[in-house]
Amino acid sequence: MDAAQDPEYLRATQAAVREFRSKFREFLALHSPTNESGFGRGVIPAVMRREGVTPEEVTEIAEQVAEAAGRARRAAQLTQVLYTVDGQSRPIDPIAAWSSVAQPKPVLEPENVLIACGQIIGSLDEMIEAAKIEQPRPAGPAEMHPTIWGAAKPLWDDGHYREAVAAAAEALVDKVKTLVRRRDIAETPLWQQAFSSAPAKPGEIRLRWPGEPEDRDVKSMNDGLRLFAPGAQMTIRNSAAHSTEKMSEQDALERLGALSLLARWVDTCERVEAPQIETGPA
């Protein structure tokens, strides 16, 4: 993904610029401006070490500024906040050129660096909002099976993603209980019996993929459902219902997608009941 379209990357870059600005201000606090009167501007360093501050103190904070500048090194190019300086063949990156303020013939003044940081942070705010709108997203939850999304939506809208997955799984298994008329067994055995390869006994109902039972594709779907449905119950429903940890939106969306697919397959299946045993007159 293009970095300019990734909100998380843009937020991380913005945080790096804020850290750099903070460290640069600490660096400036150890110095005094030299050209407040305008004398020597562009020739002598823009700042000089304050009296009583040791070179070691300056070096220590300068190293921290340099590290922060490295973490923020893409920000100026990303936002195109660059300075055009006479005598320079290319635009100046204000973050990369921060150390010039303490060198002879500085290409930038301290205020140039600080103002640029503010503009970069503001530009990143705008880019983050634009990226949220433009960022391609997975298929919307509302396009999922109505049983799944109908149960998940109230919790999803409040940001309770794990609970939304658990509610969707419960709604699906309740749907199957109604289809096969079994509310007397646990959920995993319910799925196993619903898709069991054994013929239905009197009073039982099986779910079967439509078509000739011996057809290769039909058999593959029935065999797959026999494994997939209980597996989804154990890995998706149980982990969501029994855990207390938060679930990310992406993780929850993927689990709802799997449940939605299973729900559509259940809708496609035919209900197969055991033949009624006819009894003659006594």
159 and 268 housed in the same domain:
yes
122 and 18 housed in the same domain:
yes
Q: What is the pLDDT of residues 125-140, one digit of tens each?
A: 999 988 877 655 554 5
Q: Is residue 172 situated within a structural domain? A: yes
Q: What is the pLDDT of residues 42-95, one digit of tens each?
A: 688 999 999 999 999 999 999 999 999 999 999 999 999 999 887 778 899 999
130 and 163 housed in the same domain:
no
SS3 content of the chain, % helix, strand, coil (to 5): 60, 5, 35
164 and 220 housed in the same domain:
yes
218 and 195 housed in the same domain:
yes
Give the pLDDT band (50/70/90) at residue 204: confident
Distance separating alpha carbons of residues 88 and 26, to the nearest angstrom: 28
Distance separating alpha carbons of residues 234 and 208, to the nearest angstrom: 21
Q: Is residue 38 situated within a structural domain? A: yes
Q: How many domains does the chain have?
A: 2
**Is 113:24 a contact under the CB 8 Å cutoff?**
yes
Lowest mean pLDDT among 24-33, 174-183, 205-214, 238-247: 238-247
Give the pLDDT band (50/70/90) at residue 6: confident
Last residue of a domain, one of 134, 164, 179: 134
67 and 41 housed in the same domain:
yes
Give the number of other Cβ atoms within 10 Å of residue 109's Cβ.
17
49 and 126 housed in the same domain:
yes
For 107, the domain range is: 3-134
